[in-house]
Chain A
Amino acid sequence: MASSTGDRSQAVRHGLRAKVLTLDGMNPRVRRVEYAVRGPIVQRALELEQELRQVIRANIGDAQAMGQRPITFLRQVLALCVNPDLLSSPNFPDDAKKRAERILQACGGHSLGAYSVSSGIQLIREDVARYIERRDGGIPADPNNVFLSTGASDAIVTVLKLLVAGEGHTRTGVLIPIPQYPLYSATLAELGAVQVDYYLDEERAWALDVAELHRALGQARDHCRPRALCVINPGNPTGQVQTRECIEAVIRFAFEERLFLLADEVYQDNVYAAGSQFHSFKKVLMEMGPPYAGQQELASFHSTSKGYMGECGFRGGYVEVVNMDAAVQQQMLKLMSVRLCPPVPGQALLDLVVSPPAPTDPSFAQFQAEKQAVLAELAAKAKLTEQVFNEAPGISCNPVQGAMYSFPRVQLPPRAVERAQELGLAPDMFFCLRLLEETGICVVPGSGFGQREGTYHFRMTILPPLEKLRLLLEKLSRFHAKFTLEYS
């Protein structure tokens, strides 16, 4: 309130009128949106960079920004698609050329520059369906249930949008994990849906406990109509990889409680821990048979941004919907059509991700080598991170079973907590800002993802090159020790 009056008088003083679009007059839901991954800490990092201070951006899951190389085959095919003159160049392998021609044939005007059908190029949707079938041991996938999207984020928002209805006590509630990837909270805020938190169990490597789902749901029914359950597997920021039993239990729960399941599986290629394995929700659902298989509504999401590809900038992704009402599926397509289509280069990239070189293809050897190298390095970095952090007193880090992040818990002395409160900051934000100022390391405070009251965390990526990562982890640990001493 005060600020707008101040604005008005300031405006008048400068001969300017009050604006049409002000903080007070804007969409209140948009005002409530927060997205910590690119939030205030990152803005501060930007300021420091502009002062020519060195900043290590360990805040965002962007592998290539941290030096990971793109997969050669992917970029070759894409370049051929972009500039088909190159099809006559001797410097590209035959299988890359074949792929490019195949993709271009499926494009309007044989060009990446044409709009595609709003659900994505049909050929690519078919390839995605085949990928899903192979991945899931032969369980059929229908290309008509596959919708390409502008990164997974786009499809997640679309599905959530469809689900939001009602008012007051009947307003749609959506269960999300705490800690969560803050796209979910941001989208729910924007849509004016009710966020229903269920806590992952830090004591048990961030396991998902169905009893906790029951607790959350029971309390939510008081004030909203819970209609959807979001699961991130492998988890972000937590990195846990759900067991098969857990997934079955979640599906049973969703079915009993009539919840639409959203399975965010963008890290399905990022599984490191021995003993951990990725089980797709779709596969488990189908193998559970009736009544679940034929009736439980499910949307599963994947992306080109993570895995071994790291092609974040291309914004490639898809959603597979299972057991969705046919008329609603049409509505979803309608909604997608307003934005015309997902970026076609991203669609092309996705095609290569879901149908990589076969063992008999000329590019296979190099492709495999590159892919394995990336994944092996990520696995090593996951282990290293867990190890170094657990050696530091006052920092404890659950095993990084998958994904691309560590989410260690940090002890913060009471005096530091007080100081943070004086400054109007969440204690872990205070810690992270100090870390940034003194070491240049940019990580995201746990408060941006959600955590149990009184606990503090931060999310750091495992993406810097191995030796650099080691140095960073040690630097961070030293900082934490110093910080603890300072505020004892």
Chain B
Amino acid sequence: MQRAAALVRRGCGPRTPSSWGRSQSSAAAEASAVLKVRPERSRRERILTLESMNPQVKAVEYAVRGPIVLKAGEIELELQRGIKKPFTEVIRANIGDAQAMGQQPITFLRQVMALCTYPNLLDSPSFPEDAKKRARRILQACGGNSLGSYSASQGVNCIREDVAAYITRRDGGVPADPDNIYLTTGASDGISVRTILKILVSGGGKSRTGVMIPIPQYPLYSAVISELDAIQVNYYLDEENCWALNVNELRRAVQEAKDHCDPKVLCIINPGNPTGQVQSRKCIEDVIHFAWEEKLFLLADEVYQDNVYSPDCRFHSFKKVLYEMGPEYSSNVELASFHSTSKGYMGECGYRGGYMEVINLHPEIKGQLVKLLSVRLCPPVSGQAAMDIVVNPPVAGEESFEQFSREKESVLGNLAKKAKLTEDLFNQVPGIHCNPLQGAMYAFPRIFIPAKAVEAAQAHQMAPDMFYCMKLLEETGICVVPGSGFGQREGTYHFRMTILPPVEKLKTVLQKVKDFHINFLEKYA
């Protein structure tokens, strides 16, 4: 019995106060309870346990698919089993997955992909010639003319050329070299596993690599930093100022960091996630200058570059601005920029397509990069093909151009409308304040949580905004991610909600959140 009890204790979550761990304790306790029921089978201790496992992995958290989402899954199962709830469906407003919320894929993209997947279709009259042309070009560049072959680890050559051409066009002629392009399994892969952060992290103790990240951030960054055992260096975006990036704050952060680590990397997300701000050109110049001054490697996460809604804002790529700042900067600042097929107007999350462009990397480092990539062989070739179509879409004069443009404008127009709608509706709710959604796919409103609710949260050993979001989920079926999962200033609370449900549904969701919030305020007054 004592042994079983010890197992149960051990099974109940990690010792570090991790929100993931606490909500897992019920699952682990359940598992351990099962063991207790069978006393005749004296089980020996496993080799791989929470205590014996990799501590860096244990420290990793990823809120976007964290405890609240697991809870949402449980509730969905309960609904399926016919258990009555105050709502009939769970609305997954936690993740930037447009097609899951009903957005249609771009016809042309799927046509080319189908042709590549099953080349017999090249003989079919149901596919336009421009789609066939693209498919043939991609297939010819593949081993055995098939998507089924491994590609070069850096990605299919002609696709990298197409990406370089796209970047050059996007940046008004600023040249991009295909040799600096690496195709990746979604942008996440380029940022973390395959690459840049992994290669950058070194040193020990006070010289351990420090990585500067925005707060609030997309929690891939904190997760990778945890896993790599690097030092996270937070710089706060300015909520009072539409989440602007203030270089003085960068300076403050790096100075303090130098005490206990070796800051080497500066991560920027533009347009921002979860915050949706689109950096001004001046800001980007200031950031580049700062990186140059402080000798920081710049990571520019630009996966939302096609999602800019505010008429006063424009996307400026770091690469372009860097180049236009002249040779002192453009020859020296090391930069990696990332893009993806998951966002934009495409929403092809499931394909795991992406690329990174690296600037001013030491040639030996590029060699190391390719070596590291080669161990995993190659990114999914279908995702590479999807990326190719994104960077090489139909142009005026081509058969598919009209429909393509229509579909693209429709998606982006819709998103812009929903961005405004969300901002406006949230700002009508007492106790909720929402900064303008200049870009990306999310609202990150600030919520006022009364003191009594904060206490209740603490009693449940939860962050106050997690408590709020759990209640929201349980009472309305709406799943959003608490601000604590992204980081926020002490004493402030937020949540991230996507703007992806269809307009009418989004209106309903926003109304429900409003009603919930007002009730919540009353209940915990």
Contact = CB atoms under 8 A, between A and B. Distances in A.
A326 interface: yes
Contacts of A341: 350, 352
Contacts, number: 310
B118 A161 contact: no
B62 A23 contact: no
Interface string B315-349: 00000000000000001101000000010001111
A314 B148 contact: yes
Given A35-B375, A65-B150, A327-B50, A78 B193 contact: no
A187 interface: yes
Interface string A56-85: 000010101111101000011011001101
Interface residues on A, range: 35 or more
A86 interface: yes
A38 B367 CA distance: 12
B169 interface: no
B79 interface: no
A288 interface: no
Given A21-B199, A22-B364, A324-B48, A35 B374 contact: yes
A184 to B, nearest CB: 10
A345 B365 contact: no
B264 A343 contact: no
Interface string B86-109: 000000000101011111010000
A64 B146 contact: yes
Given A23-B365, A107-B350, A325-B50, A64 B381 contact: no
B295 interface: yes
Interface in B120-161: 120-121, 124, 126, 142-144, 146-151, 153
Contact of B24 (A294, A305, A330, A339): A330
Interface in A296-342: 297, 305, 309-315, 323-328, 330-331, 334-335, 337-342
A25 B202 contact: yes
A109 B347 CA distance: 11
Contact of A313 (B52, B54, B61, B378): B378
B272 interface: no
A83 B352 contact: no
Interface in B34-69: 41, 43-44, 46-50, 52-55, 57-58, 60-62, 64-66
Nearest to A186: B375
Contacts of A28: 202
Interface string A1-20: 00100010000000111011
Contacts of B50: 325, 327-328, 331
Contacts of A258: 47
Contacts of A326: 11, 27-28, 30-32
A346 B185 CA distance: 12
A344 to B, nearest CB: 3
A211 to B, nearest CB: 22
A374 interface: no
A68 B145 CA distance: 11
A143 B311 CA distance: 49
B142 A313 contact: yes
Interface string B189-229: 10011000011111000000000000000001001100110
B368 A83 contact: no
B421 interface: no
Contacts of A485: none
A108 B97 contact: yes
Contacts of B383: 343
Interface in A70-119: 70, 75-76, 78-79, 82-83, 85-86, 89, 91, 107-109, 111-118
A22 B99 contact: no
Interface residues on B, range: 35 or more
A150 B46 CA distance: 27
A127 interface: no
Q: Which among B44, B49, B95, B121 has the greatest number of chain A C-beta atoms within 10 A?
A: B121
Contact of B350 (A151, A154, A295, A344): A344
A395 interface: no
Contact of B360 (A19, A34, A187, A227): A19
A115 B372 CA distance: 26
Interface in A137-181: 150-151, 153-154, 157, 161-165
Contacts of B53: 162-163, 165, 328, 331
B365 A22 contact: yes
Contacts of B117: 75, 78-79, 82, 345
B468 to A, nearest CB: 22
Given A20-B297, A21-B297, A338 B28 contact: no
B84 interface: no
A33 B371 contact: yes
B523 interface: no
A469 to B, nearest CB: 15
A31 interface: yes
B100 A108 contact: yes
Interface string B368-393: 10011011111111110000000000
Interface in A13-61: 15-17, 19-23, 25-28, 30-31, 33-35, 37-39, 60
A182 B380 CA distance: 20
Contacts of B200: 20-21, 26-27
B151 A21 contact: no
A286 interface: no
B186 interface: yes
Contacts of A75: 117-118
A26 B57 contact: no
Contacts of A108: 97, 99-100
B352 A150 contact: yes
Interface string B6-36: 0000010100000010001001101110000
A435 interface: no
B294 to A, nearest CB: 10
Contacts of A165: 52-55
B13 A91 contact: no
Nearest to A36: B374
Q: Which among A258, A338, A344, A345 has the greatest number of chain B C-beta atoms within 10 A?
A: A338
Contacts of B46: 295, 297, 323-325, 328
Given A26-B200, A314-B381, A83 B114 contact: yes
Contacts of A312: 148-150, 377
Contacts of A196: none
Given A22-B364, A334-B62, A313 B380 contact: yes
A64 B28 contact: no
Contact of B113 (A7, A82, A150): A82
Contacts of B360: 19
A109 B102 contact: yes
B362 interface: yes
A207 to B, nearest CB: 26
Contacts of A327: 11, 13, 24, 27-28, 31, 49-50
B361 interface: yes
B296 A20 contact: yes
A367 interface: no
Interface in B219-265: 220, 223-224, 227-228, 264
B149 A62 contact: yes
Contacts of A33: 371-372, 375
Contacts of A64: 143-144, 146, 148-149
Contacts of A151: 376-377
A165 B126 CA distance: 56
Contacts of A284: none
A162 B350 contact: no
19 contacts: A22-B364, A27-B228, A28-B202, A30-B199, A62-B144, A65-B143, A65-B144, A83-B110, A91-B124, A109-B101, A113-B99, A114-B99, A313-B150, A313-B381, A327-B11, A337-B62, A340-B349, A343-B350, A343-B352
Given A157-B376, A345-B382, 9 more contacts: A20-B296, A21-B200, A23-B368, A82-B114, A115-B342, A162-B54, A315-B185, A315-B379, A334-B62
